[in-house]
Amino acid sequence: MPEIEARIQSIFEQVVQRNPGESEFHQAVKEVIDTLGPALRHHPEYADQKIIARICEPERQIIFRVPWQDDRGEVQINRGFRVGFNSALGPYKGGLRFHPSVYLGIIKFLGFEQVFKNAITGMPLGGGKGGSDFDPKGKSDAEVMRFCQSFMTELYRHIGDITDVPAGDIGVGGREIGYLFGQYKRITNRYESGVLTGKSPKWGGALVRREATGYGTVYFAEEMLKARGDSLEGKTCVVSGSGNVAIYAIEKLQMLGAKIVACSDSNGVIYHASGIHLDTVKQLKEVQRRRIRNYIDEHPGAQYIEGGQVWDIPCQVALPCATQNELDAEAARTLVANGCIAVAEGANMPTTPGGVKIFLESNLAYGPGKAANAGGVATSALEMQQNASRDNWTFEHTEQRLHEIMTGIHQDCYETAAEFGSPGNYVIGANIAAFRHVAEAMLAFGVI
């Protein structure tokens, strides 16, 4: 094994040893560092200063108890997390996830990914992530409020608009951000609207933030196809999930002339050959908070597949927009066999390593999440700019800035991949481009 690769393997083994049982974190680290050999050969100073090893160790990890009372008066206890992974480029920036699957390994995987995703936007942002094993599903507004207030009672001392700026993620939408900010304001006696992003536009939030991750993923997919002399117009698409990212990915796909025939939730898949009716999905998910199977009540011509996968449905473009590791090697083979030409990740690490390998070998246009779904955090940075300047931007202006940022991300990935001898490989392009941004700042600051 060449010296550089041996050194990288040694770093990975140390990560696994120091972080036992955190399989998602191990996967995220390996996916990135395995592509960094060419960067270390071009920049031996990165290896000399142990930049990779330092990036793989979070700057801070906070775990805390979150007690709260449910509507029956019974005391419940959850666990809260906030991991500040790297602040070389700016304050920690990353969402909060409320879901029963949350544990330290999930938060570290998401925070590690966030470092590179934020770096590749070109915005002055570090990377972090947080959350809790609390499940907001089935809870009343009053229960969610009491939990959020308890969560922020501890978290507030660790965050700030120049220190650490949380946002939403799975299980944390506008309702939760409102309760969290209200408690922060109450405790601190300060109206620091820049301390949280994903806020309602009625009180300091950015227009387009709700749409940003989904829109940005579609913009990235469109740029990948443009680079191949193609476009999304007329393409048949499938989108996994039916939450915020999936809904607005579908919306932008439709705006660009694509036909979306399938979406899903954790129970099953809706297949509508004539095209998904987005208004129905929005009503079910954003208003009624019901399951996707109820779609067929309004559209009996559609088919509901209990426990199915959208990847089994023939398409030209696939957007995984649900959760990590939802698209495995078997699903990837199915997509390729059915003629899929482009995959852009709207979720964080939704494709397993085996699936990624198949996509890269098949030479389809594959956009990894750290590049393709960076639109959400990019628009969060725009929200922070508006808060800092006490300004209020129009939807059109903010969306134009988002489009420009996503186009720039694609160009950075595309050119970096070519520079390091792997033209069209957006995994290598995104990882090395983002790593260089962070590494150069870390070198400038010395060993800290």
Q: What is the mean pLDDT of the chain?
A: 96
Task: Compute the average pLDDT of residues 210-239.
Answer: 97
Q: What CATH number should be reported for the domain holding residue 291?
A: 3.40.50.720
Q: Please report which confidence band the pLDDT of residue 155 belongs to, taking 50, 70 and 90 as the band edges.
A: very high
Confidence of residue 282 (pLDDT cuts 50, 70, 90): very high
pLDDT at 106: 96
- Annotated ligand binding at 339? The verdict is no
Q: What are the tokens at 250?
A: 């579908």
Q: Is residue 396 part of a domain?
A: no
Q: Are residues 312 and 219 in the same domain?
A: yes
Is 129 among the residues known to form the active site? yes
Amino acid at residue number 88: A
Q: Does residue 445 fall inside a structural domain?
A: no
Per-residue model confidence (pLDDT) at position 289: 85
* 238 & 359 share domain: yes
Task: Tell me, yes or no, whether 12 lies in a domain.
Answer: yes
pLDDT in tens, 135-150: 999 999 999 999 999 9
Residue 203 within a domain: no
In a domain, residue 231? The reply is yes
| Three-state SS at 344 | strand
Catalytic residue among 30, 50, 108, 129: 129
- Among 90, 89, 91, 114, which Cα is nearest to 32's? 114
> What residues make up the domain containing 174?
60-190
> What does R_g of the chain's alpha carbons equal in angstroms?
21
224 and 357 in a single domain? The answer is: yes
Residues 166, 93 within the same domain:
yes
| 92-98 vs 127-132, strand pairing mode | parallel
Residue 377 lies in a domain: no
Strand, coil or helix: 104? helix
Rounded to an integer, the average pLDDT of 423-440 is: 97
What's the rounded Cα separation, in Å, for the pair 333 and 352?
Answer: 12
Q: Is the pLDDT of residue 369 over 90?
A: yes
- DSSP per residue, 247-277: HHHHHHHHHTT-EEEEEE-SSEEEE-TT---
- Structure tokens, 112: 């590690």
Helix (H, G, I), strand (E, B) or coil at 228: coil
- Domain ends where: 309, 337, 372? 372
Is residue 300 located within the same domain as residue 215? yes
Q: Are residues 348 and 215 in the same domain?
A: yes
| Together in a domain, 23 and 88 | no
Q: Within a domain: residue 380?
A: no
Q: Are residues 151 and 277 in the same domain?
A: no
Helix (H, G, I), strand (E, B) or coil at 132: strand
Residue where the block lists tokens 């400038």: 444
Residues near 188 by beta carbon (within 8 Å), at least 6 away in sequence = 156
User: Are residues 240 and 335 both part of a single domain?
Assistant: yes
Identify whether residues 264 and 295 lie together within a single domain: yes
Domain boundary among 342, 357, 372: 372
Residue 117, annotated ligand binder?
yes
Burial of residue 364, with CB atoms counted within 10 A of its CB: 0-12 exposed, 13-18 middle, 19 or more buried: buried
- Number of structural domains the chain divides into: 3
Give me the CATH number covering residue 146: 3.40.50.10860
Whether residue 258 is found in the same domain as residue 299? yes
State both tokens at 90.
């700016």
For residue 128, being part of any structural domain is answered with yes
Does residue 65 share a domain with residue 170? yes
Q: How far apart are CA 5 and CA 392, in angstroms?
A: 49
**What residues pair up with 66 in beta bridges, in sequence order?**
78
At 1, is the pLDDT very low, low, confident or very high (cuts 50, 70, 90)? low
Chain position carrying tokens 């932008």: 252
Q: Which of 35, 55, 75 is the last residue of a domain?
A: 55
Could you tell me if 257 and 233 are in contact, meaning their C-beta atoms sit under 8 angstroms apart? yes
What's the pLDDT band for 20 if we cut at 50, 70, 90?
very high
Read off the pLDDT of residues 69-112 as tens digits, 9 standing for 90 and up.
Answer: 999 999 999 999 999 999 999 999 999 999 999 999 999 999 99
Tell me if 117 sits within 8 A of 31, measured CB to CB: no
Confirm whether residue 213 is marked as ligand binding: yes
Is 280 annotated for ligand binding? no
93 annotated among ligand-binding-site residues: yes
